[in-house]
Each structure stands twice: as structure tokens, then as C-alpha cells.
Amino acid sequence: MGSLREASSVCLVRDTGRGLEVLMVQRTLSARFMGGAWVFPGGAVDDEDDRGRATGLDRWHTAALRELVEETGIRLFENDLAYFANWITPTPLPIRFDTRFFAAVVAADTNPVVDGDELVDARWMPAADVLAEAHIGAMLVAFPTRKILEYFRGFGTTDGLLAHVEAQSSVTPIHPRLAVRDGAIEILMPDEPGFEEAAAGEQDPELMAKMMQIAKAGGDVPPEFRPT
């Protein structure tokens, strides 16, 4: 079971003739984890991001803005970021993150510049289109990213999205659990059947080995577990 690393992710959104669009960037195929996946810009919080401040969202804000510039060339300010989600990687996985997600509205003519190293492509797309491409396997999209895109899909404009985000009184961390059932790997949300029972299953020292066997055999697994 891996230790948690803090990370930030920035969901850039804009209004166009196709409605609300979100910026998706593609990781290089040689990435350590989920090479070729389509993600939101972001990365791990560094020691320097703390700036000696140990409270609030300061270090996550700093990491979000830094990573955004490094990965896309887009520069924003702290007050441009609206904190709306916190995802924690399931406990059994060897690489785990405590990731804070921020939404930010940019102008319709905003265009990213990827470095061709860590990131190899970038696209502005409606959330529904990304989900459709992921469903048919044309885009590799991780579980938390899909869930956030499902959330964005419910809004036609950036104003509607930000109004909903700003109306939140707090952000509850989302900590999914893993389960192996009927020869398939499932990622369970807190409100889904089997979530409570999965807590005991995650203590199985053979759980990761079982999941890897299912993945290698071509079983029903989330994109995160598919062999590359």
C-alpha cells in the first residue's frame, strides 16, 4: 500500500459555440503510470510549494498554478481557481495521491502549448465528447477524470458550473475502494453497493496480485489496470 502524495489538478473550461468545453491533455506513452492517458493539467505538490505555509489550500494552489504553466504555458492567478473536488487513490495501490481539483474559466481563444515531453497533445472538447471517446476506447481516461467529466457534462455554460461550485459549503474527500467480484475489478464509490464490504477485501495481501491476474487475462478492468 503506497503512501499518499499531495497533488493538484486544474480543469480549464471555456464557453464556445459548442457550449462548455474542457481542456484535456495527453500524457506521453512513456509515462510511468497510464502512458497515453488523457488528463487535466496538474502534478505533485513539491516541498517548495509549501512556502512555509502549512494551512489551507496554499500549497495546492501554488502547485496547480506552477504545473499549469509548465505543462500548457497558460498563466493564471490564485483567485482564478475554484476548488471543487478532492480525490484520494484507493488504499491498496502502490502509487497514491491526495489530489485537489480546481476549476478555472479562460477565454474562448485560449490555446495551450504542450512541451512534447511530459505531454504530447491537447484538445478542447465538450465533456460528453470525451466520455464518448473513452467509452469506445478511443481515449484512455482514468476513473476520477471520468467522474469529473460526468459532473461537467451537466452544465451548458461556465457561469452555471462556477455558480454550482461556489455554492458548495465544503468539499468532501472522495476515497473509492477496490473490489474483485465475479472475475472483474471494480472501483466503488461510497454510495454504491458493496462499498462497505470492500473495506475488508482491501486488507487482503493478495488483492493486487489477483487484480493483475485479471488484467493480464483480459478480464473486465478499469483503464488504470489494463496492461500497457
DSSP state of 118: S
| Distance of alpha carbon 216 from alpha carbon 161, whole angstroms | 40
Parallel, antiparallel or unpaired: strands 42-44 and 82-88 = unpaired
Phi, psi for residue 159 in degrees, rounded to 5: -60, -45
CB–CB of 64/81 below 8 Å?
Answer: yes
Q: What is the pLDDT of residue 1?
A: 56
Residue from 83, 87, 82 nearest 190 by CA: 87
User: Angle, nearest 10°, between helix axes 143-152 and 127-135?
Assistant: 140
Average pLDDT over the chain, rounded to an integer = 90
Element (DSSP H or E) covering residue 84: strand 82-88
Q: Which residues contact 86 (CB under 8 A, 6 or more apart)?
A: 98, 99, 100, 101, 171, 172, 173, 174
- Reported as a single tens digit per residue, the pLDDT across 10-55 is 999 999 988 999 999 999 988 877 789 999 999 999 877 765 555 5
CB–CB of 174/190 below 8 Å?
Answer: yes
Answer with the residue of higher pLDDT: 56 or 62.
Answer: 62
| Distance of alpha carbon 124 from alpha carbon 17, whole angstroms | 12
Question: Percent of the chain beyond pLDDT 70?
Answer: 95
Specify the pTM: 0.92
Dihedral over Cα of 41, 46, 49, 54: its sign: positive
Domains assigned to the chain: 4-166 (3.90.79.10), 177-225 (no CATH)
CB–CB of 143/223 below 8 Å?
Answer: yes
- Reported as a single tens digit per residue, the pLDDT across 182-220 is 888 899 999 999 999 999 989 988 888 888 888 888 888
CB–CB of 140/60 below 8 Å?
Answer: no
